[in-house]
Amino acid sequence: MTTPLRALGPAVLLAVVITGGLAGCSGDPDPAASSPAPQPTLSGSTPGTAPLPPAATTPVPPPTAGSTSQTVAPRPVRSKKPVKIDQTAQPEQDVTVTVPELKSVEAKAQGPGEVSGPALEVHVEVQNATDRELDLSGAAVTLTAADDSPGQIMTGPPTALFPASVAAGAKAEGVFVFTVAKDQRDPVRVDVLVDPDHDVVAFRGRAPR
């Protein structure tokens, strides 16, 4: 005999509802519902990081042979045959050199290493008859005594070096003082280099005592 649900009390209905709910939850869980979905990955790279492109390289040519073994032969310094003290020397065309004055003096030491004593005061004149300015920045004058010893150049007065250049058609003079013993003045030799690109001219003769 079946008893209608309406005849049951509220407590009986509550028990039925709870029992049914538990029966619905007592089954095994669905594996598909409980397993997390697989995450996509990038093959060969760290997840979330894109692979870097290969570094660009620029071809470098092999080193070439250096030029340290290549030498430029310096121009040999040549001296022309000496002329007499009172003559004119010519280092190049339209350029002449003379020694207009050579006298005996007593030099006073002014710079380091200088020694006071008998000396020769040598005046050297360069005449530029070319149509261009003549560079005298590299000009040099030396004196050699009779025993082939070099005269010591003095820096004090009246020494006056050549100017840096001499204009076309003009002349320039320098004054140079060298210590020379009085017994070593016959002969003396004065060498003048006007320009490193030209020959050295020389004057040779007896100097005053």
pLDDT < 70 regions, the chain: 1-76
DSSP 10: H
pLDDT of residue 78: 82
Question: Distance (Å, rounded) from C-alpha 92 to C-alpha 97?
Answer: 10
Closest of 161, 155, 159 to residue 136, by C-alpha: 161
Amino acid at 141: V
Please tell me whether the overall predicted TM-score, pTM, comes out greater than 0.85 for this model.
no
CATH of domain 83-205: 2.60.40.1240
Token digits for 68?
């340290």
Q: Does residue 178 contact residue 118 with C-beta atoms inside 8 Å?
A: no
pLDDT tens digits for range 118-156: 999 999 999 999 999 999 999 999 999 999 999 999 999
How many other C-beta atoms are found inside a 10 Å radius of the C-beta of residue 149? Answer: 12
Token digits for 35?
């397993």
pLDDT of residue 71: 59
Closest of 162, 159, 100, 99 to residue 135, by C-alpha: 162
